Amino acid sequence: MSLLSGPLIFLAALAAMEGLAYAAHRWIMHGPGWFLHRSHHRPRDGWFEANDLYAAIFAVPSILLILAGVQLGWGAGYAWAGAGIAAYGAIYFGFHDVIVHRRIATGYVPRSAYMKRIVQAHRLHHAVETKHGTVSFGFLVAPRVETLKAALAKNDRQGMRAPRK
C-alpha cells in the first residue's frame, strides 16, 4: 500500500457514507425500520430515543473493518475504510445531534450559507411526521431549500398528512 492510498481510502469511505446514509435513511429508516426511526420524528421524552440504536447498528461495519485491518491481518486498507466510516459517524453526530437537534448545548449558531442550508433542509425533513411524506434524506448534502419546499407542497397536494401541532 502506498503512502497516499490509506488516506484516499479513508476519504472515499467517508464520502461513500453520505450515499449509504441517504439510502438507509430513505429506504430503511423511513421503510421497514420506521419502528425505531419514528421516535426521532416525535418530541423526545428523556435523553435517548429508540432511533439512537441506529448509531450502534451503523458502528458495527466500522468496528469490524478496523478489527479486520489491524488485528486479523487483512491489511491497512480495511482499517482506513473503517476509520472513514467512523469519521462520518462523528461528523454526523456533530452536525445532526449537536448542531441541528441541540441534544448537547453548545451555543453554536450556523452562519455560513452551507450550514444554514443543511440545517434548514433537515428541519424541512422533520416538517412532516409520516413514514413516506418527507423530503431531504441526506445529512451533509442537501438540495436547495426552495426545491425541498416545492417537494413538500407536492406531497401535501398528494394527500400526505401534515404534522400534528
Least confident span in 14-18, 98-102, 143-147: 143-147
Residue 151 falls within a domain, yes or no?
yes
* CB-CB contact of 130 with 161 (8 Å): yes
pLDDT single digits (tens) 44-55: 888 899 999 999
Residues above pLDDT 70, as percent of the chain:
90
Cα 148 to chain centroid distance, Å, stands at 17
- From the list 101, 116, 126, 119, the residue with the least C-alpha distance to 25 is 126
**How many structural domains compose the chain?**
1
Residue 38 falls within a domain, yes or no?
yes
Residue 164 falls within a domain, yes or no?
no
pLDDT single digits (tens) 111-137: 999 999 999 898 888 876 665 668 888
Residue 13 falls within a domain, yes or no?
yes
Whole domain around residue 92: which residue ranges? 5-157
> What is the pLDDT averaged over residues 47-74?
96
Residue 165 falls within a domain, yes or no?
no
DSSP 69-129: HHTS-S-HHHHHHHHHHHHHHHHHIIIIIIIIS-SS-------SHHHHHHHHHHHHHTTS-
